Amino acid sequence: DWPEEVFIQISESQVGRAVRTRRWKYSVVAPDLHGGQHSCSDRYAEECLYDLQSDPYELRNLIGFESHRKVAEVMRERLLRRMREAGEEEPEIILAEPVRSGQRRVSDEEAYQ
């Protein structure tokens, strides 16, 4: 029985956290902190959102895209839940600046994939 998502803690090259599902990958990074010196933060900024189904090589970062706002919300909640389950305090997550992409809006069903 496999989990719906995988939680990733990054603390060597940077202080970051990520969550990945079969379709989506979402990550946050702690601004101004260095991985070798800090293991966690109380504040992270959205770094990336990738659609692994249509972009398996992660060439198009969708973070901030208005068309993918629902996906970012769902993935952010998944990330925060996993962080709490790992014993971390719930941090503030700074949202990415909105980007008008002109792409079709992702459906609620797709956001939960």
Mean pLDDT of 15-30: 96
The pLDDT of residue 82: 94
Write out the DSSP string of 36-66. TT-S--SEEEEEEEEETTT-TT--S--TTBG
Report the C-alpha gap between 108 and 70 in whole angstroms.
7
CATH class for the region spanning 6-111? alpha beta
The rounded distance, in Å, linking the Cα atoms of 75 and 18 is 9
DSSP single-letter state for residue 67: G
Closest residue by Cα to residue 95 from 4, 24, 6, 26: 26
Q: Where are the domains of the chain?
A: 6-111
**Is the overall model pTM greater than 0.85, yes or no?**
yes
pLDDT in tens, 34-54: 888 888 899 999 999 999 999
